[in-house]
Structure 1
């Protein structure tokens, strides 16, 4: 089993920091390259650069009042990347990256998502 994971290209789990402005404040985000790659794909679907996508996600998270003081925004980004890929595998987000995320019905995309048990 481990060979499947340990033979990954080390560049994928190398971390990289990027400086991004959130609400006009420059901040540094440190993620593994694999996550930056997924964020690039998500952003490209809607014509957004990674900084634009990250800023939009941050703004929407703040507006939803789900960003608490103890929340870790980089963890949120990692989970967002994983959810994106899980929803693609489930057929809820088209694998065709020419289909913009903004064109999808969020209620339909999330309708089949299993909620974790308490």
Structure 2
């Protein structure tokens, strides 16, 4: 069983750092490449750039919680949530409104 997990391509779990601007503030986010691939796919499905997706998600977290503690971990969990939704598994999502639509509000 562990060979399914241990046999992964090491490139998938190499760290990749991306520089992004969130509300005019430059920041760096470090995630494993596999998570960046999921974030890029989510953004493409939503019809926005990855940077725009991150910005809207950050805004929503700030609006809901007043802070975005450990944003990298939140992004990993968002990727898992997306994968659950894709597989039809139960999710914790509260809304399915496309990001591009919410950004226009």
What TM-score do you get using the length of structure 2 for normalisation? 0.81
Give unmatched runs, 5+ long, in structure 1: 94-99, 104-118
User: What residue is the counterpart of 1:81 in the other structure?
Assistant: 79
**Structure 2 residue matching 1:28: 3-state secondary structure:** strand
Displacement of 1:46 after TM fit? 1.6
Q: State yes or no: 1:39 paired with 2:39.
A: yes
Q: State yes or no: 1:102 paired with 2:93.
A: no
For residues 101 and 43 of structure 1, what CA distance do their matches in structure 2 show?
Answer: 13
Give the helix-richer structure, 1 or 2.
2
1:19-34 to 2 correspondence within 5 Å? Answer: 19-34=19-34
Give unmatched runs, 5+ long, in structure 2: 100-105
- What is the RMSD of the two structures over their aligned residues, measured on CA atoms? 2.2
For residues 25 and 9 of structure 1, what CA distance do their matches in structure 2 show?
Answer: 34
For residues 101 and 92 of structure 1, what CA distance do their matches in structure 2 show?
Answer: 17
User: Which has the larger displacement, 29-38 or 40-49?
Assistant: 40-49
Aligned positions, number? 95
Distance 1:72 1:89, change over 3 A: same
Distance 1:66 1:83, change over 3 A: farther
